[in-house]
Amino acid sequence: MPRATHIPLTSDIPAPPIARARFGIGEVVRHRLLDFRGVIFDVDPVFANSEEWYQAIPAEIRPAKDQPFYHLLAENGEGSYVAYVSQQNLVADDEDEPVDHPAIDNLFEAFEPGRYKLRPEHRH
């Protein structure tokens, strides 16, 4: 009968650092460099968009990929849209005002200063 080979369960290869998300779903945030704000509706632990999208960002302001990225229902002076923003480029919004975006009522219910409450059917 062949002898079983021992395979170690640990490795000498260090795991990459895991960045923690500073913001959560429903929080209202503002872009640190650009003039827009929005409510977070999803979080990626690291960059999860296309390389084409990433390369379209000017190199001098292009964020690192190994940080959380947030999906926002965003608004600015020209209208509303969906934005994808790195953690390094977000700050808490201090307006305590709701965000004007047509998709908010589909995902969120009550607005409390600085935060929206996720609808029960979207919680998991």
**What's the pLDDT tens digit per position in 6-41?**
555 555 666 556 678 999 999 999 999 999 999 999
Share of the chain above pLDDT 90, in %: 74
What is the spatial distance between Cα 62 and Cα 60, in angstroms, rounded to a whole number?
Answer: 6
Taking each continuous run of H as one helix and of E as one strand, the counts in the chain are: 2, 7
Answer for the pair 16, 67: CB distance below 8 angstroms, yes or no.
no
User: What class has domain 28-122?
Assistant: mainly beta
Q: Residue 124's pLDDT is what?
A: 73
- Give residue limits of the domains in the chain: 28-122
What is the spatial distance between Cα 39 and Cα 99, in angstroms, rounded to a whole number?
Answer: 7
Answer for the pair 74, 81: CB distance below 8 angstroms, yes or no.
yes
Q: What's the pTM? A: 0.83
Task: Tell me the sheet residues that pair with 69.
Answer: 44, 86
**pLDDT (average), residues 78-97:** 96
Cα–chain-centroid distance for residue 76? Answer: 18
Q: Residue 4's pLDDT is what?
A: 54
Is the pLDDT reported for residue 61 higher than 80?
yes
* Amino acid (one-letter) located at 121: E
